[in-house]
Amino acid sequence: MFVNKNYRPFEEKVWLAKPFMHGPEQTYMTEAYETNWMTTAGKNIEEVERLTAGKIGVKYCVGLSAGTAALHMALKLAGEAVYGKPKIGFGALFQKKVFCSDCTFDASCNPIVYEGGIPVFIDTEYETWNMDPEALAKAFKLYPEVKIVVIAHLYGTPAKMDEIKAVCDKNGAVMIEDAAESFGAVYRGRQTGSLGMAGCLSANGNKIITGTAGGMLVTNSFEASRKVKKWSTQSREDAPWYQHEELGYNYRMSNVVAGVLRGQFPYLEEHIALKKRIYERYKKGLEGLPVSMNPYDEKNSEPNFWLSCMLIKPEAMCRQVRGERDSCYVPEHGKSCPTEILEAMGFIRAEGRPIWKPMHMQPIYRRNEFIGREGSCLGSSSLDVGMDIFNRGLCLPSHVKMTEEEQNRIIEVIRACFE
Ligand SMILES: *Cc1c(COP(=O)(O)O)cnc(C)c1O
């Protein structure tokens, strides 16, 4: 339990993640301003697309307004590829089931619903905190007709992509990667985002590099990139007037946003190195406590370490009860829980956060199906890995410019929680 030794709060709040600017961002933004390219076209967008495709190792990239927009476009692509063009008003996934990561941000699965589809949530595994290939295999046994799978790489840690791909191939399904959190992470020598039919990246303000907002869709298909470019600019046909044969969207990236992001590109690897150092320092600083860090496959993957997280061992958990919107706990010597640690960190003005609450536990998706390796869970009592990680885990302050001194004080407070 937290033993308060009158820890001094930080003068300035220590954030979970926040943007960090270096200089070139302003140059490219100003260039857009001075040349009046204050629109959704221009040199900055072209450069962001070229740099992203080059970094990810794919042929094409389309700059969009958000990672969520990229996911929407990717699902529309996949839907049309599998089920054909939808009738107006029905969506490309109308009444079709789509398998999706369960332990993730809701922007991973909402676009399935934008297209009229039904997300079916696949449980998580303990080795990378991502989609469990065994649970996915089981899902295909139950629903062999499903042909699209959305896989998120949580907190910048690559999922078990070889195993997941083998299951998808065996069942003739395509993979969409939600690499919003994992820009720059590598799986067996390849960048996340390059492993499926389409990859989706985010340049939101709290991601590893940012344009203030923005997202990118990456693919090796020229046809797919051409479609996304057209859809995201209101689906204009090649005619002298506004001619429309398909539903359009206003999803293109702004050239000002692209200027910021373009300026951040040279610093991606530096940010990853700083995030990795933060992760290593937590790992070392928390040694001896009954906790572990968010794990990854050290042999086959190199995460971008976007957020450092910790997981409390079951035997070191004090009693914690979470309701729909708040939680409480019973303090106990030698034990702690995420609620207590978050409270203690808040006391010194350090921002932590619970792990993503699994989608199948969200009121909006509670009636959707959830499939774990040991049971299909509508009523049955299966092992629920995502909920277990949610109950015992938390995200730690991880922003790139956090000082060693700040981090040491945070570690001290976490240690005090287990006294
Ligand atoms: C941030 C995020 C998104 C959405 O990206 P935006 O650019 O904020 O729209 C999607 N999926 C995951 C897992 C994310 O963390």
- Banded pLDDT at 379 (limits 50, 70, 90): very low
- pTM of the full predicted structure? 0.97
- Banded pLDDT at 208 (limits 50, 70, 90): very high
Single out the residue in 210, 245, 266 at which a domain terminates.
266
Span from the CA of 179 to the centroid of ligand 1 (angstroms): 8
The C-alpha atoms of residue 233 and residue 403 are separated, in whole angstroms, by 43
Give a yes or no: residue 234 inside a domain. Answer: yes
Ligand 1 pocket check for 105: Cβ under 6 Å: yes
Check whether residue 248 and residue 282 sit in a common domain: no
Give a yes or no: residue 156 inside a domain. Answer: yes
Q: What are phi and psi of 40, to 5 degrees?
A: -100, 35
Q: Whose CA is nearest to atom 6 of ligand 1?
A: 67
Ligand 1 pocket check for 68: Cβ under 6 Å: yes
Check whether residue 276 and residue 201 sit in a common domain: no
Nearest ligand 1 atom, CA 71: 10
Instruction: Output the average pLDDT for the chain.
Output: 96
Residue 327: burial class (beta carbons within 10 Å; 0-12, 13-18, 19+): middle
203 has pLDDT over 80: yes
- Banded pLDDT at 383 (limits 50, 70, 90): confident
Single out the residue in 239, 266, 293 at which a domain terminates.
266
Q: Whose CA is nearest to atom 1 of ligand 1?
A: 180
253 has pLDDT over 70: yes
- Test site for ligand 1: of 48, 100, 103, 105, most ligand atoms within 8 A of the Cβ: 105
- Of 165, 207, 275, 335, the active-site residue reads 207
Check whether residue 71 and residue 204 sit in a common domain: yes
The C-alpha atoms of residue 216 and residue 64 are separated, in whole angstroms, by 6
Give a yes or no: residue 11 inside a domain. Answer: no
415 has pLDDT over 60: yes
- Banded pLDDT at 373 (limits 50, 70, 90): confident
Give residue 234's pLDDT. 97
DSSP 16: S
Give a yes or no: residue 18 inside a domain. Answer: no
Distances (CA, A) of 206 to 209, 234, 320, 335: 8, 28, 29, 31
376 has pLDDT over 70: no
Nearest ligand 1 atom, CA 207: 1
What number is the average pLDDT over the span 42-69?
Answer: 98
The CATH code of the domain that includes 28 is 3.40.640.10
Counting the structural domains of the chain, the total is 2
Q: Do residues 393 and 308 touch, judged by C-beta distance below 8 A?
A: no
32 has pLDDT over 60: yes
- Whether 207 is a known active-site residue: answer yes
- Banded pLDDT at 50 (limits 50, 70, 90): very high
The C-alpha atoms of residue 116 and residue 186 are separated, in whole angstroms, by 32
Check whether residue 259 and residue 275 sit in a common domain: no
Q: Whose CA is nearest to atom 10 of ligand 1?
A: 107
What number is the average pLDDT over the span 338-357?
Answer: 97
Distances (CA, A) of 316 to 3, 107, 247, 336, 411: 16, 33, 54, 6, 17
What number is the average pLDDT over the span 56-75?
Answer: 98
What number is the average pLDDT over the span 215-242?
Answer: 97
The C-alpha atoms of residue 375 and residue 251 are separated, in whole angstroms, by 39
Give a yes or no: residue 377 inside a domain. Answer: no
What number is the average pLDDT over the span 226-233?
Answer: 98
What number is the average pLDDT over the span 356-360?
Answer: 97
The CATH code of the domain that includes 285 is 3.90.1150.10
Give residue 375's pLDDT. 57
Distances (CA, A) of 300 to 89, 156, 160, 296, 304: 44, 14, 9, 9, 14
Closest C-alpha to 125, from 115, 112, 134, 113: 134
121 has pLDDT over 50: yes
332 has pLDDT over 60: yes
Give residue 326's pLDDT. 94
Angle between helices 222-231 and 67-83 (to 10 degrees): 120
Check whether residue 150 and residue 182 sit in a common domain: yes
Nearest ligand 1 atom, CA 215: 7
> What percent of the chain is modeled with pLDDT above 70?
98
The C-alpha atoms of residue 75 and residue 151 are separated, in whole angstroms, by 12
Give a yes or no: residue 330 inside a domain. Answer: yes
Closest C-alpha to 108, from 202, 247, 231: 202
- Test site for ligand 1: of 64, 68, 251, most ligand atoms within 8 A of the Cβ: 68
Give residue 382's pLDDT. 61
Give residue 374's pLDDT. 79
Grouping H, G, I as helix, E, B as strand and the rest as coil, residue 256 is helix
Span from the CA of 390 to the centroid of ligand 1 (angstroms): 19
What number is the average pLDDT over the span 285-289?
Answer: 98
Check whether residue 136 and residue 206 sit in a common domain: yes
Grouping H, G, I as helix, E, B as strand and the rest as coil, residue 187 is strand
For 293-325, what is each residue's pLDDT tens digit?
999 999 999 999 999 999 999 999 999 999 999
Tell me which residue range forms the domain holding 275.
268-359+382-417
Span from the CA of 68 to the centroid of ligand 1 (angstroms): 6
**Beta strands at 393-395 and 309-312: parallel, antiparallel or unpaired:** antiparallel
Residue 210: burial class (beta carbons within 10 Å; 0-12, 13-18, 19+): buried
377 has pLDDT over 80: no
Give a yes or no: residue 373 inside a domain. Answer: no
Check whether residue 158 and residue 280 sit in a common domain: no
- Test site for ligand 1: of 181, 209, 257, 395, most ligand atoms within 8 A of the Cβ: 181
Give residue 378's pLDDT. 46
Single out the residue in 238, 266, 294 at which a domain terminates.
266
Count Cα neighbours of 355 within 13 Å in the Cβ-side half-sphere: 27
In sequence order, the 6+-apart residues with CB closer than 8 A to the CB of 200 are 67, 70, 71, 74, 176, 177, 178, 179, 180, 193, 215, 216, 217, 218
Closest C-alpha to 104, from 307, 299, 293: 307
Among 35-49, 61-75, 375-389, the least confident range: 375-389
Check whether residue 135 and residue 219 sit in a common domain: yes
181 has pLDDT over 60: yes
Check whether residue 157 and residue 72 sit in a common domain: yes
380 has pLDDT over 50: no
Give a yes or no: residue 375 inside a domain. Answer: no
Check whether residue 98 and residue 220 sit in a common domain: yes
Check whether residue 82 and residue 211 sit in a common domain: yes
Check whether residue 210 and residue 318 sit in a common domain: no
Q: Beta-carbon neighbour count of residue 179 at 10 Å?
A: 31
Residues in a beta bridge with 375: 372
Q: Do residues 138 and 117 touch, judged by C-beta distance below 8 A?
A: no
In this structure, what token pair is assigned to residue 132? 């469990």
